Structure 1
Amino acid sequence: MNLQEIQKETGIDALLVTDPYNMRYLSGFRGGEGILYLSGKRSVLITDSRYTEAARQESSFDVLEENQEHRRPELLQACLEQDGARTVGYEDQSLRCCEFDRFRAELPLVKEWIPLQGQIDQLRRIKTPEEQELLAKAEAIGDAAFAEILKILRPGMTELEAAAELEYQMKKNGASGLSFDTIIASGKNSSMPHAIPSVKKLERGDFITMDFGCMYEGYCSDMTRTVVLGKADEKQKEIYNTVLKAQKEALSVICEGMTGKEVDRVARDIIERAGYGKCFGHGLGHSVGLFIHEEPRLSPADNTVLEAGMAETVEPGIYVPGFGGVRIEDLVIITEDGCRNLTRSPKELIEL
């Protein structure tokens, strides 16, 4: 589906785009502050003086500057008048209630407001070849950072210090920023899937789970690796190898035509048979693009049929409170007969 099809299906005369990732996808503008007005007659980007110069360089849209004399509703009203637009679609999942109320009050020309839910987001589901290569470059930066952090981790280093080193390595290798807050969880902390790095010191015998990602030209990477600082004991090996088997099996079957639920079930069955079903509480994966958590997802609740060109993480995990946890995550591009794995870092158990 494209914008024209959305307009035809919903019967709207124009639409407003407020989600910053959709703004970038549709207009090329990277600033994230402002609003897009789109109709069959014009494509307009409204932003303030902090971004107008950059917007004109990055986008082919007509750029209008909002200020005290030309407020956003007034600029939108002029567009509506010129187009005779009376039915307007809006992104109800990103537009703040207070701003929507203001639009309804100050844009009397609009007779009907149509919530578009996630229809604009869906335009980003299939990644173009160019987008796929940007994702691959971002993931390669993560691979390079992981190789370096393995040389740096040592007993006595705090989780916060390890996170800082990992983030430095990503920036050093070309990342423009982080795609999410870095997770470094060691020892018992690794039983928390989204643990926040702390002043806890790394100790011998610890699981160290590292979930991290960066941005390259706006596109995100995402990978997780778990290592052991020192020698792994038998329980650690059992848990690690179960997660590894679950991930490899899921990677071996994922392809166009499967649903997210079906892929999730492949990995979940392995973990459940090993007796750790209650220790795998999250879904197997999610889509990645301009935003780190996109749709569709690999989860028990997602019946979306996967299509070639979608980018998905595959990240099973086992988390045992009071003991520790393991997660292994790769980022893949769905193909007709399988997937292209963008993550190259080794995943066999590493003992440092």
Structure 2
Amino acid sequence: GDVISPADDRRLAPGDVLMLDTGAVLDGYFCDFDRNYAISHVAKDTAAAQAALMAATDHVLGHLRPGHLACDVHRMFAEQLRAQGAVPGGGRLGHGLGLTLTEWPSFTPHDKTELRAGMVLTLEPGVEIAPGRCLVHEENIVLRESGPELLSSRAPRDLPILSGVAT
């Protein structure tokens, strides 16, 4: 239900998702991405959420160009997630990245920042699976004149399953 708080002491159970929202710093520049792993099996609603996140990310990767506004990216994500039958997450759906972990712009409905070639950004759509349950996907890009260039290795389309995990 909360992607930025530290883990609690609850043990993972079959059907849970282990989300690693992580990054690193190289020469003073940050990266920020997440990767999700299913424990023992992927629940039907989780698989549908993952498919919606991947489809929405594909859409934005194919259409984002310099000149779009930050709010345009939020709208693209929200429309694509809804078209997949998903409920978009309530917060921002990506942000700038660089000398700090989180920089402007924020992909929210109200951020009118114009995106320019050379900006380093995260694409971070999220969906609500059920009250208190969400799934987020995050990739790092640099926006080029021709469109986005991935800086991170793309997450697998289907959630990897961790079998044999002590739960």
Residues 97-128 of structure 1: per-residue CA shift (max 9 Å, x gap): xxxxxxxxxxxxxxxxxxxxxxxxxxxxxxxx
Any conservation in 1 of the 2:89–2:134 contact (CA below 8 Å)? Answer: no
Q: Does 1:255 align with 2:32?
A: no
> Structure 1 stretches (4+) deviating beyond 6 angstroms?
none
Q: Which has the larger radius of gyration?
A: 1
Residue number among 141, 150, 163 corresponding to 1:341 in the alignment? 150
Residues 293-317 of structure 1: per-residue CA shift (max 9 Å, x gap): 1112222111111111101100101
Residue number among 97, 119, 126 corresponding to 1:317 in the alignment? 126
1:1-352 to structure 2, matched below 5 A, reads 191-277=1-87, 279-321=88-130, 324-349=133-158, 350-352=160-162
Partner of 1:255, secondary structure, is: coil
Relative distance call for 1:207 and 1:305 in structure 2 (3 A) is same
Identity of counterpart residues, as a percentage? 24
The residue type paired with residue 233 of structure 1 is A
In 1, Cα distance between equivalents of 2:113 and 2:132: 35
Residues 308-349 of structure 1: per-residue CA shift (max 9 Å, x gap): 110110010113355632111001001111011101043312
Residues 10-35 of structure 1: per-residue CA shift (max 9 Å, x gap): xxxxxxxxxxxxxxxxxxxxxxxxxx
Partner of 2:6, secondary structure, is: coil
Any conservation in 2 of the 1:316–1:327 contact (CA below 8 Å)? Answer: yes
In 1, Cα distance between equivalents of 2:104 and 2:81: 24
In 1, Cα distance between equivalents of 2:8 and 2:115: 38
What is the match of residue 165 of structure 2?
Answer: none
Residues 185-208 of structure 1: per-residue CA shift (max 9 Å, x gap): xxxxxx223232122222222111
TM-score, with structure 2 as normaliser? 0.88
The residue type paired with residue 161 of structure 2 is E
Relative distance call for 1:208 and 1:322 in structure 2 (3 A) is farther
Question: In angstroms, what is the RMSD of aligned CA positions?
Answer: 1.7
- Residue 287 of structure 1 and its aligned partner are, at CA, apart by 0.5
Partner of 1:332, secondary structure, is: strand
Any conservation in 1 of the 2:129–2:135 contact (CA below 8 Å)? Answer: no
The residue type paired with residue 334 of structure 1 is L
Higher strand share: 2
Query: Structure 2 stretches of 5 or more lacking a match?
Result: 163-167
Partner of 2:161, secondary structure, is: coil
Residues 28-64 of structure 1: per-residue CA shift (max 9 Å, x gap): xxxxxxxxxxxxxxxxxxxxxxxxxxxxxxxxxxxxx
Report how many aligned residue pairs link the two structures: 161
The residue type paired with residue 156 of structure 2 is K
Higher helix share: 1
In 2, Cα distance between equivalents of 1:257 and 1:323: 36
Partner of 1:213, secondary structure, is: strand
TM-score, with structure 1 as normaliser? 0.43
